[in-house]
Amino acid sequence: MVDKDEASFGAISDHARGNMLRGYSTALEGWRRGLNLQIKIDHTNRMDEVVEYILADGITTHHFEGSVGDHVSKEAIAICSDKSVLREHLQKAHIKMPDGKIFDEGATAETIGEYIQEKSHPLAVKSTDGNLVKHIHNDEEIKEAMEYLKDKMDGHKIIVEKHLEGENSQLYVVGEEVFHLTGQPASEDARKLALEAVRSIPGLPQGSVLININEGTEECTVIDINPHADIKKNESLSGDALRDVPKAIMDYYFPATKDFNREMAERLYFDFDHVYTSSKRGKLGYMEIPSIPEDVRLTRFILMAERFPKSFLGWVQSTAVKSGVSGSIRKLSERRISLVLGGSREDINAFTNLLKKKCRRFKHPVKFTRKKRTTPVMQGFHIIENPSLDSKKVKSLRQENKKLKKEISALKKTRPDTSKNNYRKFVRRLARVRKKGQ
């Protein structure tokens, strides 16, 4: 789990990785532009959880699933989901694709096999839903493909097409913008082809296009189109795509927000963990995320004192929430506390004055040292547990605790009178272990 106190746009909740990253990153971009955000997680399909959200500016409202907005028609999604229908649309638009043939559900493995044997290798055999894929490079793999088809093809249309050599590049189109996501940098021809391919699908203003680029001729061929932005892992993206793609999507759906203050907006992010766990626990409706302040300031303090009251961290949290200040507080040691703050200058100053007034009433004087803060702060105010006891250390302490209990029990049974001193030593050791684990 990423430490929230040090989180940034590229160091976010583990729940916002995988397919949900595209939804989180796009929703975050809209929220940071001052748009009203309502969000939930659809857990219906455990293998493909979806971030659903609504963004609104007071005049215009748009619904999204992942990176796909409501300008994408149901027809377009259906076309891209059925690869045989997709091929037909691309062919009508004269978009270059791999040579191939579609076999309907009634075709036998033998019929498909005869066609495969007539064609030169390499070939790709796949179902029209894109899930059943087998590559053929030699005669031995033809036999394997035949067995595979007999076992898997029931109820599926099958596509057999030329498997192209070269490197595949993933491009993303939204409106008139084309972005390079993965693979080698896209040429102007590849970018033009991606734009034409998306335009050939009715009701598809945005989508990912997988293009094969021949190493020798640099000829470009469309392999697939997907309505979703193929943002899955931060490290898989080229350049600044993780930021650029959500930005382009928001520019397309909310053009009036293009000139928002990015420097200020990027200083806060919302608690996606809370959204995820709330949805997981059965909260089915949308959660409204509080709006981001217009003028966001960040700062950090180190508080030092001989001793802090036990209730201090809780008081700071409740007071910060009431003051409209985001951030976190962490006890670094018995004498040192880290306090991170984010919010408007006015709210931070008001909260800081309350904090210092509170500290002046303590038995032990508190020293405030201001530090610079540049990384984003999570909205809301959070108490962060001291990470000094990591999971391995906790496990080790528990094992030692269990071992001591067994030794004490044995001492009581075998030498109840003569081992009192040893027994007291074990009790003291046990108390120390328990204290470390707290």
Q: Assess contact for 241 and 249: CB atoms under 8 A.
A: no
Quote the pLDDT of residue 21. Answer: 85
Q: Name all contacts of 213-220 with Cβ < 8 Å and 24+ positions apart.
A: 213/166, 213/167, 213/168, 213/169, 213/183, 213/184, 213/187, 214/164, 214/165, 214/166, 215/165, 215/166, 215/167, 218/187, 218/189, 219/96, 220/96, 220/187, 220/189, 220/190, 220/193
Measured distance CA(51)–CA(35) in Å, rounded:
17
345 contacts: CB under 8 Å, gap ≥ 6: 295, 297
Full pLDDT tens readout for the chain, 438 residues: 333 333 334 445 667 776 788 899 899 999 999 999 999 998 876 667 889 999 999 999 999 999 999 999 999 999 999 999 999 999 999 999 999 999 888 788 788 888 888 888 899 888 887 766 778 888 888 888 777 777 766 667 888 999 998 899 999 999 999 998 887 788 999 999 999 999 999 999 999 999 999 988 899 999 999 999 876 544 444 455 656 899 999 999 999 999 888 788 888 899 898 898 888 887 778 999 998 887 899 999 999 999 999 999 999 999 999 999 999 999 999 899 999 999 999 999 999 999 999 999 999 999 999 999 988 999 999 998 875 545 555 566 667 777 777 777 776 666 555 455 665 666 666 666 665 555
Measured distance CA(340)–CA(242) in Å, rounded:
26
Quote the pLDDT of residue 241. Answer: 60
In 3D space, the residue among 289, 166, 182 whose CA is nearest the CA of residue 220 turns out to be: 166
Measured distance CA(111)–CA(104) in Å, rounded:
11
Quote the pLDDT of residue 10. Answer: 44
For residue 306, give the amino acid letter: E
Complete edge-to-edge strand list for the sheet that includes strand 177-182: 177-182, 167-174, 206-213, 220-226
What is the phi/psi pair of residue 356, to 5°?
A: -65, -35
In 3D space, the residue among 92, 97, 95, 159 whose CA is nearest the CA of residue 132 turns out to be: 159
61 contacts: CB under 8 Å, gap ≥ 6: 54, 55
For residue 397, give the amino acid letter: L
- Stated length of the chain: 438
Fill in the DSSP letter of residue 292.
Answer: P
